[in-house]
Amino acid sequence: MTKQRTRLAENVPGEFYVDSSCIDCDACRQIAGAVFRDHGDQSSVYHQPATEDEYRSALMALVACPTASIRTESRQNAHVGIDAFPTRVAENVYFCGFTSESSFGAWSYLIVRPDELGGNILVDSPRFTRPLIKRIEEMGGIRTMLLTHRDDVADHDKFAKRFGCERVMHGADGASRLGIERIVEGERDVALGDDLLIIPTPGHTRGHMVFLYQKKFLFSGDHLWWSPERRTLSASSSVAWFSWSDQIRSLEKLLAYEFEWVLPGHGRIHHDGAELMREHLRRLVSRAQAA
């Protein structure tokens, strides 16, 4: 029996609202922070869109929501949110939107590269939906799918079948059982061409990995993220499903690498200079070791 959805009382009156199916994944607050807020264990609308930009971002949040918990009174202009994805983060890196409930709203990313450099890369899996598939096809398809860990695989199999892409995942997270084509073992780094490095980072899960692109973009999965409250990088023992001590060791390992962007599956994106990023990481390691 389907659970009845109701408009949450915390929403302000108006066109947009969040219903009781919200799982508090934070996607809407990241995409449209001027419209949505966290009121405890769920999100709600605290400010109805008043500008074109706010309206567009609210529609993007509606489309990205993994549980279709964001609603409008009229459902007009939904195509504005649909057509926005994949949306550019920086350079040739895009956020896919269309997050999946099976990944608790985890973010996935598309790296657009010429075929001679290895073709496009999908980092973790969004929801398999026709508008997104069409746009990815227009942008050159997918040659490789990198999966950070077992929690965020979502519709990986459907994408693999549609695009014929090679999936890469760590064996310790059940890659063989999932039919993954290229399985990483152990904790040694693996280079995929000159611009992409696979770095095993056990902790959140036994086989968690992060991906470093162009020594600039760190796709961090659930290993670390930016905390706007602390204004620094963050990680948590409460979501270290495998081993917090191993995760601390994996955080220390990343001090040897240079990056300017952190693009997580859960948590906030952040961009800063490489040295400032390393300093934020040092502080995170120190806090984790002292905890």
- pLDDT band at residue 150 under the 50/70/90 scheme: very high
- Percentage of the chain beyond pLDDT 70 is 98
Pick from 14, 8, 16, 13: which is nearest to 72 by CA? 16
Contact 232, 280 (CB under 8 A): yes
Average pLDDT over residues 63-82: 90
d(CA 172, CA 139): 32
Contact 77, 59 (CB under 8 A): yes
Q: Which domains does the chain have, with CATH numbers?
A: 16-77 (3.30.70.20), 85-290 (3.60.15.10)
DSSP state of 156: H
Pick from 158, 268, 250: which is nearest to 203 by CA? 250
Contact 116, 136 (CB under 8 A): no
Each residue's pLDDT tens digit, 203-222 = 999 999 999 999 999 999 99
| pLDDT higher than 80, residue 93 | yes
| pLDDT higher than 80, residue 131 | yes
Each residue's pLDDT tens digit, 1-11 = 456 889 999 99
Average pLDDT, the chain: 96
Contact 256, 197 (CB under 8 A): no
Token couple for 85? 């994805």
Token couple for 233? 């990088």
d(CA 21, CA 24): 9
| pLDDT higher than 80, residue 75 | no
Return the ∠ at Cα 109 (arms to 104 and 114), rounded to 5°.
Answer: 160
d(CA 259, CA 195): 13
Pick from 65, 30, 32, 62: which is nearest to 47 by CA? 32
Q: What pLDDT is attached to residue 3?
A: 64
Q: What pLDDT is attached to residue 4?
A: 81
Residue 21 burial class via C-beta count within 10 angstroms: exposed 0-12, middle 13-18, buried 19 and up? buried
What DSSP element (H or E) covers 197? strand 196-200
68-96 burial: b if 16+ Cβ within 10 Å, else e: ebbbeeeeeeeebbbebbbeebeebbbbb
